[in-house]
Structure formats: structure tokens, C-alpha cells
Structure 1
Amino acid sequence: METGVDKDSMMRQAQQVWSMLDDMADNDPRAYRSFIDKQMAEKKEFMLPPEPHMCVQTKMLKPDAVPFFINFCTWKRIPPPANPEEPVKVSGSAISQIDDDRGKVAVTAVAFNEKILDEFGKNATNKSDQDTLVQIAMDFIESQHSYIKLNRKYKILERSHKGSVKLVQESLFHAFRAKDKEVDDNIADMIKGFAPLATENPESLLSQLNKENDSEVNHKQTNGTLNGQLSGITLDTKPAKKGLIEEVSSMTVSLPQPIYKLTTVKSSDTNVTKSLLLKIELPGVKSVSECELDISKDDISLFVEEKYELKLSLPSKIIHEEASAKFVKKSSTLTLIMPVES
């Protein structure tokens, strides 16, 4: 599996693009401004977060028999197949554990290009193709998380996602963070050498190179092949001529979930819940600055790089603007007090 960025190729692209920009700025300023505006608009669209499309419920057979939810998302970062022969590209997130009214459930997310889900997703006219997409998504999840086994019987839910949209989006963004940093570092090095030649802010160049490089890296990051083919051909046991699915920089290692305790604080006279108290044990964490904490009205997300990750749906809606957090260094414990909406 090849994951490196070809710096020589990027340098050649940079020379060509900057030379083109210089010529255009001198000879046709109006076309130059139009080009800059178009590049910035495309970059803005490219950076949009993934959007939930449909949610599939099945069951994990091992290691634990718990309900398992797969959030299918559309994402402009995932390129569509250039032709019917090319593998379908997909990105996946870590597997998280959240609480619902039935107890503990497992949740993950997979992202496809919107054209794939428009044709084979929840509104697919051909249910056989829809089933193929769900099955190969399960194949992909099992290939990325070898310790689990999924029941292949499933149902597509009325809702578009399980858990909060924000947490679903964040789980997929984590998969791209390492690759994005590598690309940004290489582009920064390149700009140091070429910036004096630029006649304009290099944002347009960054947008173009980010997209071109993302496409190149995605094509190279093949992590094995899966059997079967869309467009009316169901899964079979014969090896496909080309892999049906190609991983797009997915995150394969799930961070451990810290031990936590969530309790309710009730009014002594009315017995009505006033607030939620959440205590999270974080052994090895020495400072609150190591924690990325996000609190919304119905869930919390905690991320400690290379150590812990917790996504938790709250049993009551809270006033998140009034929530407070305290970290005790001696016990490495983070305590959250979250007032409940009345």
C-alpha cells in the first residue's frame, strides 16, 4: 500500500499552475479573477462536512452481541468512480459505543460519493443493488476491524443517522486528519520555494493541488479487494477483475473508551432532574489541555490524542452554554456538570 505524497509531481504541478497564473494575470485580468473565484468556491464546497444519508441497523455477532448501527454518509471528499471498471471508493470511521434506551450499542460510519448513494442508497430503484451496497459496506467494516463479525441480516431505518450529526461528521473527519497534515506540510514546503513567483494569494493553487493530490493518494491507497460488482451484479465468490471497493484513508484503530459514570442530580423538593453529572477517568492524562471536549445540548464528545475517545448521547437535553468542567490532576478525573433544560 502506497501512501506517500509525490513531492516531485507536486513541484511540477506548482510550476505549471504558477506560470499559468502569471500569464493570465498579465494578459487577461478578468479571466484571472474569475479563475481565482472559481477555485475558492470549489475549495469551499470540497471542505463541506459529510452528510448523513441513511442508517442501517444490524447486530454484532462478536466480540459482543450488541445492536450495530452503520451511518451511510455522502461526502464530496470521496471521488466517484471515473468509469464502471474502477473500484468504488469509501472511507470509514472508528467504531464507537453509545447508550440508548436499550443499553449499549455500537455505531460506525462509512462515506461514499453522493452519486453512489443517490443510485444505490435508500432511494435505490433496484433493491438488489441496494443490498449489494450494504453488504460490501459490511465487508469493508469487517476488513478494517478484524475483531468484529456482523450479522448480514439488517434493516434500513426511517431516520437518516444514529447519534448526533456532529459526532457522525467528526468520526469521519478523524480519518482524514493525518493525511491532511501530510499534504499541508508538503504544500507549505513547496510554497516557501515558489511563493515569490506568485502574483496572488496562493489559495487557488492550494485548492487545486489539494484536490489533485487527494485524488492521486486515494487511487494509491488500495487496501485489498472485495468481490462483487454494482449495476445489477450481486456479490459472488469469484475474484473481481478489479476491486469493488477502495479505501480512502480510513482510520483502522479505535481509541479506547475511558471509564465514566453519568448520574442525575434531582431537586430535593420536586424530585425533578436539575442537572447531569459526568465523571470521566483519564489515567495518563496530566492536563486538561490534552483534552478536546465538545458539548452540545444532547451529546458530548471527548478526544485525547492517541489515548481516549468518548462519544456519549445524553438522556436529557442540557443547557450546554452553562455546562462547566473541572479536571483534577491528582486523580486524572474530568468532571462535567450540565444543567438540564426545564
Structure 2
Amino acid sequence: MVAMATKQSEKEMLQQVNQLWGLLDDMSESNPEAYQKFIRHHLGEGMKQFSLPEPHTCFQTRILEFNEKFLYVNLCSWSRVPAPKSDSDPVPLGGGKLEEIVEGTDIYSVTDIAYSPEVLKKGSEDPVESDQLVRLAMKYIEEQHSLRLSHSYALFKDKIKGSKKQMKQRLTGTAGPAQTDKEMTSGESGVSLLQQLTSLKSADKENDKNNPPIWLPSDIRHPKKSGLIEEISSTEFDSGNRAETPRYELSLIKDENGKAKTIQLKVELPGITSVAECDLSVSKDDLVIDVPKRYRLQLDLPEAINEDIVTAKFNKKTHILSVKMSILSN
């Protein structure tokens, strides 16, 4: 009975999600102004869930294997990781992939551990608390990656080993904020959203139904797969290596003085009928388009772009996704 109930619940959630995406699709075409207003309003309360990790400090220890090697652990501040409800509760954390780095004759490993800003602030004010956070991170790494670490460690001179981009990729990959089952099935985020969308759509059926650009505020450019942050659990996942790389065209649009002002990307996605099937993630220097089990495109951008000025437009007839990104001014 429990298994049957679970399958039924999953089916109902999937129906709600599909209905929600369909209504969002229709609204983006029939009433782009209401669409933008709706998205900004409902994501304003959830900005923390779309924040990115920030480096806090880094420590160095050793992996005790046949050939010992250094391990650098970046402790990161991330508002997506909850703080413990009380001093007696376990401290939640999120962990990234363990990456081996080869630099000439040097071989070492790097990983990342994320705590809530409140937890790290408390650790900064108390050396004992700080040491406990390091010990907890080491215990987590040992359990999740089946390693044995040295009990001694040293603080690294810089806040981070490697780059913020690498740290973000290890912690987030192509994943993004996850809704809980309760949120997906509750009236607060499921039914009420559908009701509001239906109401907004019905109120403006006569609006222009062309295919307008969809502005992507920085808060919502990472709506990806679930399972990113869990309490004391692995965040590694299948990144979809079997997906096909789609055909694309990347070009720079210059002004009258020959200065590059905009990056334009056109991606062919045969078989895709809705923008709802696409996950688009844009940062200052890279872009990822992911259609689960179908297509995946990851590009390093030729110029740094303004993440707040990005538009995306999907043509259902040609199956082409067009993305325009404004280049940062020097």
C-alpha cells in the first residue's frame, strides 16, 4: 500500500509540474509583462535558494594512502545550507566532488564543504568552534569518499584553493535548488501557483501571442535538477555524459566603433517543443544548456558578460534557442 501511494503521489506531482510549466510557457508568449512580474514576485522570497557559494577559508591536510598526497578543503559560506535549529542539533553541511589536480610533478586533491553563513560566522568568533567545523568536514570527506585523512591540518594562506568557478562547479555541477515533496504537493507552492497562473492567463487572452524574449533575472538562472544539498550526504550525481552536444552558433555583435557589445548564441534543439524542457545556466564567464538525457552544451564565453542582462527566446517552429548576453563594460 505504501509503494502504491508513493507512485500515485509522484504521478500527481508530475502532473502538477507539467501543468505549471505549460501555463508559464503560455504566459511568456501571451503576456510577457505579467510573466516577468509573476516570476520576480514569487522568486523574490526564495533568493537564498538560488545563491552561489562564497569562499570562507581553506585548510590543508593529507590523504593517507600508499602514496600520500595533500588534500585542500575549501570551506564555503552558502545560504542554501540551513543553520542548525539549536546548539544541540547536528550541523548541516553540503559537500562537493573530490577532484585530483596535476600540476607538473605535483599531484594533490581538492574538495569543498559548504556551511551556512551563520555557522561560519560563529566559527570565526570561536577558535574551538572553528576547529570543530574543520573536524566535521574531515569526517564527512572520509565517510563520503572512503578515505583516511591525517588528523593534523594547517590553514591555507588564501581563502580558496583554485578558482571560485571551479569551486562552484564542484559544489553545484548542473544541479540546482530542490523543492521538498511537501512543497511540491502543498497548496502554497503547487495549487496556488496554478490557480494564480490560470487567473492571470484568463485575464489576458487577447494579448499579443508572438514569441517574445524572456528576461532572465540573476535570481532564476539556475533552475536545475534536484538533490544538490543534503544534510551529511553526497552531492555527486550523473551529469548526463550520454547527452548529445547540439549544433550551435556563437557570435559577437559589435557597435559602430568595432567594440564587442553583445554575445549571441543560437542552439539547434531538434525534438524539443518547449522551453520548459531546457535548463539554462549563465554565469559571468560560462554558459550551460542542459536538456536531460537529450542535449548538453557547456561553453566558456569569449568575453565577461553582465549576468543581469541576459535574454533567452525559444522558437517552437524552428526548435532554436537564442540567447543574448550583454558584455561587461571595461
- TM-score by structure 1 length? 0.47
- TM-score by structure 2 length? 0.48
